[in-house]
Amino acid sequence: MKRAFLLTLILTGVLGAIQTARALDYPLPPQGSRLIGQNQTYTVQEGDRNLQAIARRFDTAAMLILEANHTIAPVPKAGTLITIPTQLLLPDVPREGIVVNLAELRLYYFPPGENKVQVYPIGIGLQGLETPVMETRVGQKIPNPTWTPTVGIRKRSLERGITLPPVVPAGPNNPLGRFALRLAYGHGEYLIHGTNAPDSVGLRVSSGCIRMNAPDIQALFARVKSGTPVKIINEPVKYSTEPNGERYVEVHRPLSQEEEQNVQTMPYVLPAGFTSFREDKAVNNDTVQQALYRRAGYPIKVTSGQTPVAAKTSAVESAQNGSPVNDEASGMTQ
């Protein structure tokens, strides 16, 4: 069986205790700055039955925890000290409405008139049914949605021995959860919605829609108005020159087109302006290369003359009796 599919089965098939998710609220940094938050550490406990349960506790994605810890098992042993990647660079886009970065499995919401951003983990389209990059808006708010499986979804379910009804009524067993935001894109087929399968959030498992934890979509639904702008991007590499002169690079594993692809080594497109950024004398290009190769999913300081460490590592917060805890990149294109 293919490795990516196996990993998805492990993460979704092992049932953990459902933790109450909540948005990660960050104060907005000043204009010219994109660095927010700081990483945490956590010691895996006996009751933590999979990474999804741990991820829900911190309202992050299991895939992001896998990126940050690299060699961790999908079902880590009790006593394992792991990094929770809750420090990040804001995407280099206007700070308004909803912004989704598919490559990092995160949704950002910038509440109007408030000096903060809310960050949520999401599930997105699987290979062959990718969530498209787009600029659109919230076209409709749908409480208690019903679900009408498409012909393609019903066919794929039949191949797995599951016969779906023509319509699934609203309720706790509805795959769309209790709230949905229809995007004004195409024929309205793309939704941001809840799910009755919490372990699917943070993975590539949908038919193109964006899934959220039930408490997260409920909170977002209550705040977002119809007409709110929505921008969906796919940018695995983010970088920033901070007002104090520090330089950071945040690199995520790119989204593969096929399950067989190794996302740790497959090529990706670097953002516009990245070449100029890395050629600046204030940037340590060797450290940049290490960050591009490692793909750790959290900001790495790449300022010249400094050790390649995560930002503010000395100030990492321990969530539970823990303590804080790179070669040439191949195949990058611009």
Which residues are catalytic, by number? 193, 209
Three-class DSSP category at 170: coil
List alpha helices for the chain, DSSP H.
3-13, 51-57, 62-69, 151-159, 214-223, 274-279, 285-294
- Residue recorded with tokens 């006996």: 46
Q: What is the strand order of the sheet 237-241 is part of?
A: 237-241, 247-251, 300-301
* Spatial distance between the Cα atoms of 331 and 283, rounded to a whole number of angstroms: 21
Confirm if 313 and 324 have CB atoms less than 8 A apart.
Answer: yes
Confirm if 118 and 108 have CB atoms less than 8 A apart.
Answer: yes
Confirm if 273 and 133 have CB atoms less than 8 A apart.
Answer: no
User: In the chain, what is the straight-line distance between the N-terminal and C-terminal CA atoms, in Å?
Assistant: 33
Upper half-sphere CA count for residue 129 (Cβ side, 13 Å): 17
Nearest to 84 by CA among 321, 317, 326: 317
- Return the beta strands (E) in 3-125 as ranges: 24-27, 35-37, 40-43, 81-84, 87-89, 97-101, 106-110, 116-121, 124-125
